[in-house]
């Protein structure tokens, strides 16, 4: 099951930043998923980008200088 | 029956998870927590599960929260037991809400993802109009729809819509259905949820 995998999430300042990141990641063909910010991180009604740890470097490469990532967290 | 839980030193969401578990078997639960986030989260759980709550600060930063189930207070969020018929989620569009479609698409993604772990999952989920696109292989939502199917949710995709959007052969979740079945299910539904 997928649930058994470990994931990372990238947190952003604003929903518009998540949308921009989504566009860039889609273009780059990197596997990601938009999910609600886990309750354990924040009770706000936010969204974030979830991905497998092995894609972390590729994702940071694509997003750098284009969208500001506040934080990467392991789930 | 009462229970005491020492949730000090535990990271979120453990205090809430433990409290919820205790409330399943007890009417009177006392929880000790050592931070205000846990305090607020447990208080929120108390109100959503119909409990009276009483908070005292034991030592500096240690809170004792007592939750007592109220007999008359049914949980606000649970569907009424008297409703007959299946719960149907209608996904009438690939966008959640009206106004901004880009935002709507993002909201729909998170809605379907969240639906997998809902306490009250739908019996049937119907996808029509642009909602049908979500079941196509290249949509970002298809994995979540598959996960819902694995959990026993029956997913129907409007056949007319599949034809219109030329999705034939591209469906990776759900069963192609027709207006007879869709109208029949909607007319017999106990609850219809349309995000």
Q: CB count, 10 Å around CB of A9?
A: 20
Distance of residue B187 Cα from the nearest chain A Cα, in angstroms: 32
Q: How confident is the model at residue A19 (pLDDT cuts 50, 70, 90)?
A: very high
Q: Give the CA angle between residues B60, B65, B66 to the nearest 5°.
A: 145
d(C-alpha B56, C-alpha B53), whole Å:
10
For the residues of B39-55, what is the DSSP string, one character each?
HHHHHHHHHHTTEEEEE
* Dihedral angle over CA of B38, B42, B48, B49, nearest 10: 150
- Residue B109 with chain A: CB contacts under 8 Å: 33-35
Per-residue pLDDT tens, chain B, 195 aa: give them: 789 999 988 877 788 888 988 988 888 999 999 988 889 889 888 888 889 999 998 888 899 999 999 876 555 555 556 678 999 999 999 999 999 999 999 999 999 999 998 999 999 999 999 999 999 998 889 999 999 999 999 999 999 999 999 998 999 999 999 999 999 999 999 999 999
- H or E, element range at A33: strand A33-36
pLDDT at B37: 85
Q: Pick from B124, B126, B134: which is nearest to B165 by CA?
A: B134
pLDDT at A1: 42
**What is the CATH number for A35?**
3.30.70.260
Intra-chain end-to-end CA distance of chain A, in Å: 16
Nearest CB to A34 within list B41, B110, B147: B110
Contact with chain B for residue A35, Cβ under 8 A: yes
| Residue B80 falls inside a structural domain | no
pLDDT at A75: 83
- In terms of pTM, does the model score above 0.90? no
Same domain, B100 and B57: no
Same domain, B62 and B91: no
Same domain, B93 and B161: yes
Q: How many domains does chain A have?
A: 1
- Taking phi over 0 as left and psi of -120 to 50 as alpha, with beta for the rest, A29 belongs to left
pLDDT at A2: 47
Same domain, B65 and B97: no
- Residue B151 with chain A: CB contacts under 8 Å: none
- Bridging pattern class, strands B154-158 and B175-177: parallel
The whole domain housing B15 covers 2-69
Structure-token pair, residue B61: 């930063």
């Amino acid at each position: 099951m997928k649930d058994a995998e470990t994931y990372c999430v990238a947190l952003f300042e604003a929903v518009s930043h998540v949308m921009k990141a989504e566009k860039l990641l889609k273009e780059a063909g990197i596997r990601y998923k938009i999910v609600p910010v886990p309750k354990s991180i924040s009770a706000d009604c936010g969204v974030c980008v979830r991905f497998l740890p092995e894609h972390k470097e590729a994702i940071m490469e694509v997003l750098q200088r284009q969208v500001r990532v506040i934080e990467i967290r392991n789930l | 029956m009462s229970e005491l839980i020492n949730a000090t030193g535990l990271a979120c969401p453990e205090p809430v998870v433990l409290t919820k578990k205790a409330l399943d078997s007890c009417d009177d639960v006392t929880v000790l927590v050592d931070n205000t986030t846990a305090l607020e989260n447990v208080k929120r759980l108390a109100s959503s599960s119909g409990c009276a709550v009483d908070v005292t600060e034991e030592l500096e930063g240690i809170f004792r929260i007592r939750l007592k189930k109220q007999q008359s207070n049914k949980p606000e969020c649970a569907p009424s037991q008297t409703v007959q018929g299946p719960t149907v989620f209608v996904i009438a569009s690939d966008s959640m809400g009206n106004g901004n479609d880009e935002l709507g698409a993002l909201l729909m993604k998170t809605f379907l993802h969240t639906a997998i772990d809902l306490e009250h999952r739908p019996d049937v989920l119907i996808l029509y109009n642009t909602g049908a696109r979500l079941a196509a292989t290249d949509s970002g939502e298809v994995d979540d729809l598959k996960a819902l199917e694995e959990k026993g949710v029956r997913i129907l995709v409007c056949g007319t819509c599949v034809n219109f959007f030329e999705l034939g052969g591209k469906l990776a979740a759900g069963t192609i259905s027709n207006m007879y079945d869709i109208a029949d299910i909607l007319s017999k539904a106990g609850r219809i949820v349309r995000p």
